[in-house]
Amino acid sequence: MKLREKLQVMVVDDMATSRGLITQALDEMGIVNHFAEADPAEAFKKLAARPVHLVISDFNMPNMDGLQLLEALRRTKSTARIGFILVSGRADGEVLGRGQKLALNNFISKPFDTNGLRACIEKVVGRI
């Protein structure tokens, strides 16, 4: 079985359009085990109960941003080793510096295409 058939991914983004673009790209790559969540706090609860291999999360979300979600995941034993990719149109040093301190696995800027997202994912999990 190929990695893309086993890989479990959760997409976290408060914008339905953005979630759709990411999940569509995952479908195009043949990654079939993906889930989407609009609320980061709800995503954290689901991930704590059922961890996945990789989280692809937007940065700018209400109530809890993507790095706050990453911090919560890293502080929880069952989710501490989940791969994490941050998606944002804001690729400044402050955001990336905070991410590095929290063991962010990779970052991709908006807008992106399927090939760019594939390359970003492969740097975290290996060839899909």
Span 46-88, pLDDT tens digits: 999 999 999 999 999 999 999 999 999 999 999 999 999 999 9
CA dihedral 86→10→66→120, nearest 10 degrees, is 0
* Cα–Cα distance list, 125 to 4, 13, 47 (Å): 10, 21, 18
CA distance 120 to 100: 16
More reliable by pLDDT, 1 or 79: 79
Q: Which domains are seen in the chain, by residue range?
A: 10-111 (3.40.50.2300)
pTM: 0.96
pLDDT (tens digit, 9 = 90+) per residue, 23-38? 999 999 999 999 999 9
